[in-house]
Amino acid sequence: MRIILRNASWVCTCDEARPWITRGHVSVKDGVIEAVQDSPIELPADDTIDLDGCLLTPGLVNTHHHFFQTLTRAIPRAHRAASEDWLVNLYPLWSMMTPQDIAAATRNTVAELLLSGTTTSADHAFNLGARGDERIRAQVEAAQSLGIRLHLARACLPTVGGRVETRLSAIMGNRLQAMIDSDTHLLEQCRADVEAFHDPRPESMLRLALGPSNVTYTRPALMREFADLAEELGCGLHAHLHPRAAERALSLRETGLAPVEFLEHSGWMRPGTWFAHCTELDENDIARFADSGVGVAHCPRTILRLGYRMTPLHQMRRAGVRVAFGVDGGASNDAGAFLSDVRLGMLLHRAGSPDDMDTERDWLSPMDTMRMATREAALLLGRPELGAITPGLRADLAAFDLRGLDCAGALDDPLGGFFFAGSNPRAQLTMVEGRIVVRDGRLLTGDERGIAAATNEHSRKLLERARAAYPGLA
């Protein structure tokens, strides 16, 4: 099966040998990029797509999400809730979710990702509890039916802890305990899921990673057990980490070590590990991240939504830490079109720059931004076969139509225009493993309106159940 993408006005390859082609042509054969050139490809093809007016790029790679939260977007009680109140308002809703709810949320989330040119996505699935296997299966089936490449962090909730747990216990009682993975069989469940779903091959459409929702200082042995299991099974490790003042104090109290020292001690500081947020890493932490090859999923919109401190992006990049972008969950982003987050990410880190900053060196350029959203993210997830338009790599591609009003007057530098001026997050074409999943801006693997309607129905019923169970949430 050969598909030829002809006549793309611009191709941003993210291949260092030839990062940019004007008037480019790409052929794809059996899921692999076959040829990339600036002259027409004269080969027989099963399908040919003309991309005049379009920017062709590697498919975008999202490094952090929580698909299940898409049923709980823009919840009024969380509109102005910062971190702790946000959790207290949302956990009761999440506790009522069924595997069918998770499948519906996954379909909606994946459709949004594919429609914004995202071909690979991580998901940090920590809302599993006692029905973990059933939920994982529902999520995997829903994602695969739409055709995205998935990196599923088979996560868990070993503890909630602190004031959040005290407040949630008062509201939720036994339902909170049902969400917490205190089960002694947790590691066996993780092993069984990895053995059932993890595919290590280069063409893999599904890989698993392991880890808790947050770094778990109160059950420190568990962190070592996750690291050992991930190493044995050849999977990555993923968790949230800021570490904020309270987290630093907790780590010292429970383990006698600073958070990143504790992670080193537990076998987590190694390639294949990536953490979400890292908004409060200090200079010493950043150096350890760089030395150990640990990656960071930077979620710019969550910083704004939940009022986090700004990720020290300049310091991380200067030190050589691998940083990529993430959407984060539907309840802390609310929007789901990854391209919008990437555009925001190019600008957000500039806020509050010191007067003497060398902006030419430290502010992300459009090319830096594209690389972070594609090649760097693929490498962070341990996928060197993804993230660039290079012959021999897997055929994950996206094309964006730059002929709209938003980019008009901004095409002297088309990549700059795409990021600075572009406001349309919809891809013209999305291809995953050589399969066209979005064409002419329309999803081919699912009915967009039907998916949205089903999501609304699941969300409405979930909120109804939650309001009946927790009258105080009405």
Give whichever of 226 and 418 is closer to Zn ion, judged by the CB atom.
Answer: 226
Site residue total, Zn ion (CB under 5 A)? 2
CB of 402 to Zn ion, least distance (A): 32
The least CB distance from residue 212 to Zn ion, in Å, is: 12
Nearest approach in angstroms of CB 135 to Zn ion is 17
> How is residue 162 written in tokens?
């602190």
Query: Going by C-beta distance under 8 Å and a sequence separation of 6 or more, which residues neighbour residue 244?
Result: 279, 280
CA distance 439 to 54: 13
Q: Candidates 84-92, 144-152, 326-334, 456-464: pick the segment binding Zn ion (CB under 5 A).
A: 326-334
307 or 320: whose CB is closer to Zn ion?
307
Q: Which stretch binds Zn ion (CB under 5 A): 249-257, 322-330, 385-393, 401-409?
A: 322-330
Q: Can you tell me which of 247, 285, 328, 334 binds Zn ion, judged by CB under 5 A? A: 328
Mask 222-261, x = binds Zn ion (CB under 5 A)?
----------------------------------------
Q: How far is the CB of 48 from Zn ion (least distance, A)?
A: 41
**Smallest gap, in angstroms, from Cβ of residue 121 to Zn ion?**
13
Nearer to Zn ion, 8 or 381 (CB): 381
Query: What's the angle, vertex CA 66, arms to CA 387 and CA 328, rounded to 5?
Result: 65
- Considering beta carbons, is residue 25 or 305 the nearer one to Zn ion? 305
Instruction: Report the half-sphere exposure of 146 (CA within 13 A, side-chain side).
Output: 32
Pick between residue 377 and residue 443 the one whose CB is nearest to Zn ion: 377
Q: How far is the CB of 66 from Zn ion (least distance, A)?
A: 6
Beta carbon of residue 270, minimum distance to Zn ion (angstroms, whole number) = 21
Query: 15 or 328, CB closer to Zn ion?
Result: 328
- Listed residue (326, 324, 153, 297) closest to 226, CA to CA: 153
CB of 89 to Zn ion, least distance (A): 16
Cβ-Cβ contacts under 8 Å for 390 (sequence gap 6 or more):
13, 15, 17, 33, 36
Distances (CA, A) of 471 to 94, 101, 463, 468: 15, 21, 11, 6
Question: Of the two residues 193 and 328, which places its CB atom closer to Zn ion in the complex?
Answer: 328
- x/- string (CB under 5 A) for Zn ion, residues 268-297? --------x---------------------
- Which pair of structure tokens corresponds to residue 218? 């109160």
Q: Is 334 in the site for Zn ion (CB under 5 A)?
A: no
Instruction: Answer yes or no: are the C-beta atoms of 29 and 1 closer than 8 Å.
Output: yes
Q: Which residues contact 188 (CB under 8 A, 6 or more apart)?
A: none
Shortest Cβ 276–Zn ion spacing (Å): 5
Q: Residue 285 or residue 328: which is nearer to Zn ion going by CB?
A: 328
Residue with Cβ nearer Zn ion (90 or 466): 90
- The Cβ-side half-sphere exposure at 372, using a 13 Å CA radius, reads 32
Our CB check for Zn ion shows the closer of 103 and 276 to be 276
Task: Kindly state the smallest distance separating residue 277's Cβ from Zn ion, in Å.
Answer: 7
Site residues (vs Zn ion, CB under 5 A) = 276, 328
